[in-house]
């Protein structure tokens, strides 16, 4: 099996790279290729010719597309670039996949929803994104669906890891410098460790290879198993970080409304995802948020001690 992984240097891409290697012949690509790693191929998703040449040369059985414009606020002022990466690029991959009988595994977001629900969002619920980022990710989904290719679109939320830029690492950095932090308390979602999303991806790919049932294609939700506000998430980070010696002392947390920060982009107030479909079709069960955060913080501590 030949697998093309895009965005391999990103938060999710780094987790997927090692996990996809045992499944077949992996070709890892990114728009920026580290000089120290010659096994990563350069791929500019904004250039149609470059993408098609890579696809034709590699001829992958599966395209795993983690590349995305993920800056929620910066998407408001970089609409064209966000559209190119989140809509045009996956559309081109999907068209190639449809023409070459390949599977496209693509990632999307809880931000495709409007946030006005009181119960976890199902895959079939109406999508009304409140930001340019959410709109671009939804348009990318629609482009893939309309291409006619076989696809899995996996929506997830609030992804973090022990590396890359994310909420956990940002909170720890701020805690080292400040005694008091204001953290948003009126947005509810499910923090999800990137490694768990990668594990779920591998589990689904293995089952699709074993079963080869086209009816399993579609949109799925996966998050870890706890719904929290950003404020609640920060509290858990600090409590656990202090307990393992990663922080000497937790800062005081002041819960605030999102209006306090005046961000360029709106966020959904409620973006908890219902994950029953992925359990029913693939046997995937939500991982423990508490255990995942423990693992992440332990990795950060270990990296610091090296």
Q: Which of 133, 220, 222, 270 is catalytic?
A: 133
Q: What is the pTM of this model?
A: 0.97
Residue 263 falls within a domain, yes or no? no
Q: Is 55 within a domain?
A: yes
pLDDT on residue 210? 87
Phi, psi of 135 (to 5 degrees): -65, -40
Distance of alpha carbon 23 from alpha carbon 18, whole angstroms:
10
Q: Which residues contact 78 (CB under 8 A, 6 or more apart)?
A: 69, 71
Tell me, what's the pLDDT at 36? 66
CATH number at residue 66: 3.40.50.720
The size of the chain, in residues, is 306
How much is the pLDDT for 54? 94
Give the per-residue pLDDT at 213: 81
Give the distance, in angstroms, between the CA of residue 304 and the centroid of all CA atoms in the same chain.
Answer: 25
For the chain, the straight-line distance linking the first and the last C-alpha, in angstroms and rounded, comes to 37
- Taking alpha carbons only, the member of 162, 226, 232, 155 closest to residue 191 is 226
pLDDT on residue 35: 61
Residue 182: other Cβ atoms inside 10 A: 15
The residue whose two tokens read 């995942």 is 292
Asked if the structure places residue 119 within a domain, the reply is yes
In a domain, 235, yes or no: no
Written in H, E and C, the secondary structure of 137-154 is: HHHHHHHHHHHCCEEEEE
Q: Active site includes 160? A: no
**Which helix H or strand E contains 40, and what residues bound it?**
strand 40-42
282-to-112, 201, 222, 303 alpha-carbon distances in Å: 23, 11, 11, 34
Quick one: what percent of the chain has pLDDT higher than 90? Answer: 91
Q: Are 194 and 15 in contact (CB under 8 A)?
A: yes
Express as a percent the part of the chain with pLDDT over 70: 99
Residue 66 covered by a domain: yes
Question: Whole domain around residue 209: which residue ranges?
Answer: 2-159+193-223+274-287
Q: What phi, psi does 179 have (nearest 5°)?
A: -90, -15
Q: Is residue 9 part of a domain?
A: yes
Q: Evaluate whether residue 300 is within a structural domain.
A: no
What's the rounded Cα separation, in Å, for the pair 205 and 210? Answer: 9
Nearest CA to 253 out of 242, 264, 266 is that of 242
Burial of 247 (0-12, 13-18, 19+ CB in 10 A): buried
Separation between Cα atoms, residue 109 and residue 176, nearest integer Å: 30
Dmax (CA) for the chain in angstroms is: 57
Number of domains into which the chain is organized: 1
Q: Can you give the pLDDT at residue 60?
A: 98
Residues 6+ apart with CB under 8 A from 62: 1, 2, 3, 4, 102, 103, 104, 105, 205
In a domain, residue 152? The reply is yes
Residues in the chain predicted with pLDDT less than 70, given as ranges, are 35-36
């Amino acid at each position: 099996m030949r697998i093309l992984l895009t965005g391999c240097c990103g938060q999710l891409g780094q987790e997927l790279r090692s996990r996809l290697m045992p499944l077949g012949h992996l070709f890892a690509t990114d728009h920026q290729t580290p000089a120290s790693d010659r096994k990563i191929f350069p791929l500019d998703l904004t250039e149609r010719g470059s993408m098609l040449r890579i696809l034709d040369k590699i001829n992958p059985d599966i395209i795993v597309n983690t590349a995305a414009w993920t800056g929620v606020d910066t998407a408001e002022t970089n609409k064209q670039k966000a559209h190119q990466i989140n809509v045009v690029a996956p559309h081109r991959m999907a068209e190639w996949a449809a023409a070459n009988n390949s599977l496209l595994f693509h990632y999307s977001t809880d931000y495709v929803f409007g946030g006005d629900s009181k119960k976890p969002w199902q895959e079939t619920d109406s999508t009304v994104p409140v930001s340019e980022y959410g709109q671009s990710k939804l348009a990318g989904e629609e482009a893939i669906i309309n291409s006619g290719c076989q696809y899995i679109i996996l929506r997830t939320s609030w992804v973090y890891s022990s590396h890359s830029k994310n909420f956990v690492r940002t909170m720890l950095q701020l805690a080292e410098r400040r005694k008091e932090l204001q953290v948003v308390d009126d947005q509810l979602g499910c923090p999800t460790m990137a490694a768990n999303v990668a594990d779920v991806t591998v589990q689904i790919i293995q089952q699709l290879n074993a079963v080869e049932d086209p009816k399993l294609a579609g949109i799925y939700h996966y998050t870890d198993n706890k719904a929290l506000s950003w404020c609640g998430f920060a509290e858990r980070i600090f409590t656990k970080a202090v307990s393992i010696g990663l922080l000497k002392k937790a800062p005081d947390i002041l819960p605030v409304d999102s209006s306090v920060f005046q961000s360029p982009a709106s966020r959904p107030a409620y973006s908890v995802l219902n994950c029953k479909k992925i359990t029913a079709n693939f046997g995937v069960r939500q991982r423990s948020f508490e255990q995942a955060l423990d693992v992440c913080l332990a990795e950060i501590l270990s990296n610091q001690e090296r």
